[in-house]
Amino acid sequence: MSDIRLIDTHSHIDMIEQISLEDVLYNAAANNVEKIILPCAYPADIDKIMDITEKYDNIYAYLGVHPSEARDWNDGLVDKIEKYVSLSKKVVGIGEIGLDYYWDKSFNDIQKEVFIKQILLANKLNLPINIHDREAHKDCFDIIQEYNQNSTVIMHCFSGSVEFARECIKSGYYIAIGGVVTFKNAVKIKDVAADIPLDRLLLETDAPYLTPVPYRGKENQPAYVKYVAEEIAQLRGMTIEDIASATTQNAERIFKF
């Protein structure tokens, strides 16, 4: 496995608590993870995210506001994100953005409004969008279809059916799969991982969450993305080298690494 190259396309390394950031990056390198994309969730974290990406060569950023934090959006964030994009080549997308109807449905309209604003911002900046879609498949898809003009779409932590995945693929989206695919009873995402075209697949951890087997229940980190690759390889009857090569090429194409 020494010659494979992996990219963790969605990892909240700023939220890992049990080991230092230096140890996170050391472990990642030791497990062939060459690049990590750090998404923004909270408006207050934008500066911190950029500080981390500027400090480390192999860390890149998504800038955006998570749907659960949509009530904290203010339109001044557009100027702030635009400024960072103009100053740094390390911003590779707008994210994570989207809709989350799991926790609280009381502000769905605000979520939709903020989602649309961030899609339009990504279009203006010609950057990909990293989509958080939890129990909101139809609304998420419909909004992207209506408002997105030119941004590459990455469906982060995909949780839909094979049929929904095929609709996304038909529209040119990418499907990002993380540690859930290693869970014994996660039949739906295993079916998706086996079905989608290799040239539409991305790997991620969503660290520190959704830790794959064999470390399920512990804190996640980018080093564990190899277990995601191994599981997908097994499901498809391929080698981990095949999965690593395809997903890394996909990420390099999307993010112009």
Tokens 């190899």: give the residue. 226
Confidence grade of residue 104 (pLDDT, cut at 50, 70, 90): confident
**Arithmetic mean of pLDDT over the chain:** 97
Sheet holding 174-177, edge to edge: 6-8, 33-39, 59-63, 91-100, 129-134, 153-156, 174-177, 201-203
pLDDT at 44 over 70: yes
pTM: 0.97
Domains of the chain: 6-243 (3.20.20.140)
pLDDT at 2 over 70: no
Residues 197 and 174: beta-carbon distance below 8 Å: no
Q: Is 191 helix (H, G, I), strand (E, B) or coil?
A: helix
Distances (CA, A) of 152 to 10, 79, 200, 256: 15, 21, 11, 12
In 40-184, DSSP assigns E strands to 59-63, 91-100, 129-134, 153-156, 174-177
User: Which among 11, 20, 37, 166 is positioned nearest to 93, based on CA atoms?
Assistant: 37
Mean pLDDT on 182-202: 98
Residues 126 and 151: beta-carbon distance below 8 Å: yes
Whole-number Å distance between alpha carbons of 19 and 238:
33
